[in-house]
Each structure stands twice: as C-alpha cells, then as structure tokens.
Amino acid sequence: MPYNLLILPLLGGYILVTYTNCAVYWSSRQAREQLLLASAFVGLLLAVIARAIVLIALQVPGGLLLGRLVHRALDMQGIGTGALAFGLGVAGAIWLNRAWPMFESGLWLYGRGSLTQLESLMMMSAHAFRPAPGARFRSMPLEIFRRLACSIPGIRQWIAHRLHEEALFEAL
C-alpha cells in the first residue's frame, strides 16, 4: 500500500477512537500525540482486517469483478484495502454507538473509575446513581465484544442466559 493511502486506515481509526460513546471521555483528555498513536494502532488493526476481507473477496467471482471496477475508477495499488479500512472504522463506530448508548457507556465508565473526579461528581448528581458495593465491571474489550454480540439479533437470546446483568448500580 502506498504511503499516501495510509491516511485512510488512520482516519478510520481516528473516527473509531474519537466518536464512540465508550471512548469519547478518554479521547477528549488525551494529547494530540497520544490520540494519533491510538488512532494509528486502531487503523493498523482495521487495515489488517480489511486486507483479509479483500483477499477473501478476490477469491470469488463477484469480488474480483468489484475489485476490477474499483481499480478502473482509481488505478492505485491498495485503494480497496484503504477504503475498506476507512469504511470499517465508520461502520464500527456506528455499530458500537447503537450497541452501547451514551448513557450506558457513561455509567460503565463511571463504575470503572475511568472518569475524572469532576466528571464522576457530575454523573452522580445528574443521574442519582452510584456503583453498587461489590459491583464488578468487565474490562473494556470484553464489554465491547459482549455489547456487539448482543446487538446481533440471533445471538442475543443465545448469550442472554450465559451473561446475566448484575446489579451494578444503586440509587442514591
């Protein structure tokens, strides 16, 4: 992939890092360099996933035809992988925001202790909740995969009896 096309996975990673409900608080407190590094890491993951999808798609006749159409419009090596990585970042942010709404992700971050003291105070005063004593919150990767899996219609019922909702919060 030419160096000028690396901006597409980087932008996809930036959108996924800065526009998801579960990472918006973290990304707003980061310096530019740290945000760029996080976006590059997520963009690299998106590029690897996109490359695997492109290689698999090129093995089927419809995918080969689509690849020829893309390269006829823009004759640049790696344009399909870069554009797909950007698209995966945008689609991933939309999917994650639908699976994990702002209110629930804010409460999860509050319960994990990921918010600053002022943000925690504002969350507690606005919603009149606090973490329940002894509540255990899953790590972010586990919670993200759980929320995304539960948002898929057929999997929600299958997972529901394995992962029950604990009483994580109590009213003030």
- Tens-place pLDDT, residues 28-45: 888 989 999 999 999 999
106 and 90 in one domain? no
Q: Which of 12-26, 33-47, 110-124, 154-168 has the highest mean pLDDT?
A: 33-47
CA quadruple 39, 123, 120, 136: dihedral positive or negative? negative
Higher pLDDT, 7 or 142: 7
User: Looking at the structure, do residues 15 and 84 belong to the same domain, yes or no?
Assistant: yes
Q: End of a domain among 99, 122, 146?
A: 99
The answer on 79 and 137 residing in a single domain is no
Q: Is the pLDDT of residue 161 over 60?
A: no
Residues 91 and 111 in one domain: no
Other beta carbons less than 10 A from residue 9's beta carbon: 30
53 and 85 assigned to the same domain: yes
Helices (H), 58-152: 61-73, 79-99, 102-112, 117-127, 140-150
Domain enclosing residue 86, as ranges: 1-99
- pLDDT confidence of residue 172: 58
Residues 16, 77 share a domain: yes
Same domain flag for 168 and 115? yes
> For residue 137, what pLDDT is reported?
77
Helix (H) or strand (E) holding 169: strand 169-171
pLDDT at position 89 is 96
Query: What single letter denotes the amino acid at residue 85?
Result: A
If asked whether residues 45 and 87 sit together in one domain, one would say yes
92 and 46 part of one domain: yes
Q: Is the full-model pTM beyond 0.75?
A: yes
**Of the residues 99, 134, 154, the one at which a domain ends:** 99
Residue 5 has pLDDT above 70, yes or no: yes
Check residues 48 and 70 and name the one with the higher pLDDT: 48
For 129, list phi and psi in degrees, rounded to 5: -125, 155
Final residue of a domain: which of 65, 99, 133?
99
pLDDT band per the 50, 70, 90 thresholds, residue 50: very high
Number of separate domains in the chain:
2
Looking at the chain, the whole-number percentage of residues with pLDDT higher than 70 is: 88
